[in-house]
Amino acid sequence: MSKSCPTPREIEVWRPTRLQDFIACEEVKATLVDHLRADGDGTNILILGNTGTGKTGLVEAYARTRNCPKSAGPWLGPCGECDDCKDFDFEHSDDGVFAHLRTKAEETKPTYFFHLNCYSLDVSEIEEVAKEVSSHPTVRCIVYLDEVHNLVDGRRDLVLLKHLSDLNAVWLATGIDTNAYNPMFLRRFATRCTTTLPSEPDLALFLCRRCKDWSITVDDAPETLALLAQRSQQITAQCISVLACAAGRQGRFLDRHLVEAYPFVSGVTRTKVTD
């Protein structure tokens, strides 16, 4: 992404790649940073939060940072330039089982990162991962369970949990909220943390920083950015879409009138901000 002036298209597809780029979600960010500093070892983590609060995005940023051998630190994320970063494919799938093998392989104990979509996960797929994990007994394994609330379905989840608990791996999981899980499931996770949508001051501060990063001039800065944050009431990526498109139409100049008039990007679900 250009540092001088991003195009509207650049920003419409932008997603945070560094943990520090997520606004709010402080509890989850701190937990994932601690996990990175522990080099992927430690307790299982269950991340809770409503749709649109950035659960999957946070884990992807974690995984990309963990994968990059040139990362400057847990908060600063991956370099985005090395071969490991370019080859990383968080969305690659094979019959519901996602796997990205080898992170920081030059270390004496590399990490294998598995990404499982639990929407239609079954025992055979767990067994497939178990076979893969057992074939590399000397490495560290992290198994990410996406949409994990779909596992909680009476006896089925007990069978799957038994198979998962037999894996020699640390679990990261994302779901909706604790109401979706039975007590036995929750006991499997030593750490539970929640994501939250950003408040208007959070958004305004974030947008201020991005204007500075991208050399975008803001007229009436505090008032305009506060208005943009209030109007957006969205997750980070959509706020930035509004900012970039508005700035592009004004030759990198963002004014109050344009903020008030700008229509939201279509196709993105609006989510009300809560303090």
* Rounded CA separation 69/84 (Å): 8
Q: Higher pLDDT residue, 29 or 23?
A: 29
Assess whether pLDDT exceeds 90 at residue 23.
no
Q: Higher pLDDT residue, 33 or 127?
A: 33
Beta bridge partners of 218: 254
List pLDDT tens digits, range 86-124: 777 776 544 445 555 455 555 556 778 888 888 777 788
List pLDDT tens digits, range 204-244: 888 888 777 777 788 777 788 888 877 766 556 667 766 77
Inter-CA distances, 151 with 158, 161, 164, 180, Å: 9, 9, 11, 10
Residue 146, CA atoms < 13 Å, CB-side half-sphere? 22
What residue ranges in 83-185 does DSSP mark as E strands?
97-103, 111-117, 140-146, 170-175
* Rounded CA separation 258/272 (Å): 22
DSSP 97-125: EEEEEEESTTSSS-EEEEEEETTS--HHH
Assess contact for 174 and 146: CB atoms under 8 A.
Answer: yes
Kindly report which listed range (10-19, 145-154, 168-177, 187-196) carries the lowest average pLDDT score.
10-19
Q: Which domains occur in the chain, in start order?
A: 8-15+197-261 (1.10.8), 25-194 (3.40.50.300)
Kindly report which listed range (12-16, 165-169, 227-231, 253-257) carries the lowest average pLDDT score.
12-16
